[in-house]
Amino acid sequence: MGTLKTEPARTRLDLLASPVAAALAQWPVEAPVDVDDVLVAPIDATLADTAAFCAAYEVGLEVSANCVVVAGKREGEIRYAACVVLATTRADVNGVVRRALDVRKASFAPMTDAVELTGMEYGGITPIGLPESWPILVDSRVIATPHVIIGSGVRHSKIALPGPALGVLPGARVVEGLARPA
């Protein structure tokens, strides 16, 4: 985890977006990952973008995960999904993601929509605490990673947790080949 100074996320709600804090408060006792294994670390908000963050905090791209919000339209209805991929890869938006959403065309959701609908800051969006109706598509490489670093809903911190935890979030679906090498 590089030079990050982590502590249990539920003890530092000031480092989390409110939807993330709410999701941690409702973390199921029977979950395969204990809520206290979800850690948070403060960071410099100006270094929240993946490349800058990894360089500044000595975190490998292979353990840094990104959560991107994707949208597509079908019969006048906009469908959203979150895609969780390692920083060494890119989500296959117009292939795998488009088919998962069952839309003709998919693209990254506009920043204003992503921020408004998630209640999180752009550049810090995380799959923990997303709207319940959204599918969370998790690339199989993410859950194969023992520990990953991902956004916390805000730009001034990051969450560290076991990769497999992301595959068992409510609404999560592990997808083989969701991402391609960057």
Position 18 scores a pLDDT of 97
- Does position 153 have pLDDT exceeding 90, yes or no? yes
**Over 81-150, what HEC string results?**
EEEEEECCEEECHHHHHHHHHCCCCEEECCHHHHHHHHCCCCCCCCCCCCCCCCCEEEEHHHHCCCCEEE
Tokens of 102: 């069952």
Position 173 scores a pLDDT of 96
Q: Which residues on adjacent β-strands are paired with residue 86?
A: 65
CB atoms within 10 A of CB 127: 28
Q: What is the mean pLDDT of residues 177-182?
A: 94
- Does position 157 have pLDDT exceeding 90, yes or no? yes
Q: For residue 149, how many C-alpha atoms fall within 13 Å in the half-sphere facing its CB? A: 28
CB atoms within 10 A of CB 111: 12
Tokens of 154: 């805000």
Longest dimension (CA), the chain: 48
pLDDT tens digits for 100-137?
A: 999 999 999 999 999 999 999 999 999 999 999 999 99
pLDDT tens digits for 82-98?
A: 999 999 999 999 999 99
Position 29 scores a pLDDT of 87
Q: What is the mean pLDDT of residues 152-164?
A: 97
Average pLDDT, the chain: 96
Residue position matching structure tokens 């997808």: 175
Domains of the chain: 7-181 (3.90.960.10)
pTM for this model (two decimals) = 0.95
Position 49 scores a pLDDT of 94
